[in-house]
Amino acid sequence: MVWYLYIVALLFIGAGVYLILNTEQARNFSREFAETGNYRLWGILGAAFGVLLAISAFWSGVVWFLFILGLGFSGLGAFLFFGQEERVDALLRVWAAVSDRGLRLWGLILVVVGTAIMSWT
């Protein structure tokens, strides 16, 4: 399961760099997803991602952080899958309305977390 942690770390770093460097494209993608996205499919993928992350956390140096992160992704996936459509739409509209600085901050957070995951495995 260490290979999964490396994949997650690379995905986080890649997504963070994308958010930092291509902020306008990321904003357009999030708006398009909020308007036309299939929430149930993304909920299943998010929950599976979180469960695998929580399981693979036991092969890392810092189990608690990755386990909690995996539970968070699982909870978000469950919310997207089981949540009321109005509440899910409201959450996605909030994400789509984040400012440029906010998106860059999330990108920086993703890069730092991805680098930390890479160093802990």
pLDDT tens by residue, 45-56: 999 999 999 999
**pLDDT at 5 exceeding the cut of 90:** yes
The tens digit of pLDDT for each residue in 53-111 reads: 999 999 988 899 999 999 999 999 999 999 888 898 888 888 888 888 999 999 999 99
DSSP string, 55-120: HHGGGSS-HHHHHHHHHHHHHHHHHHHHS-HHHHHHHHHHHHT--HHHHHHHHHHHHHHHHHHHHH
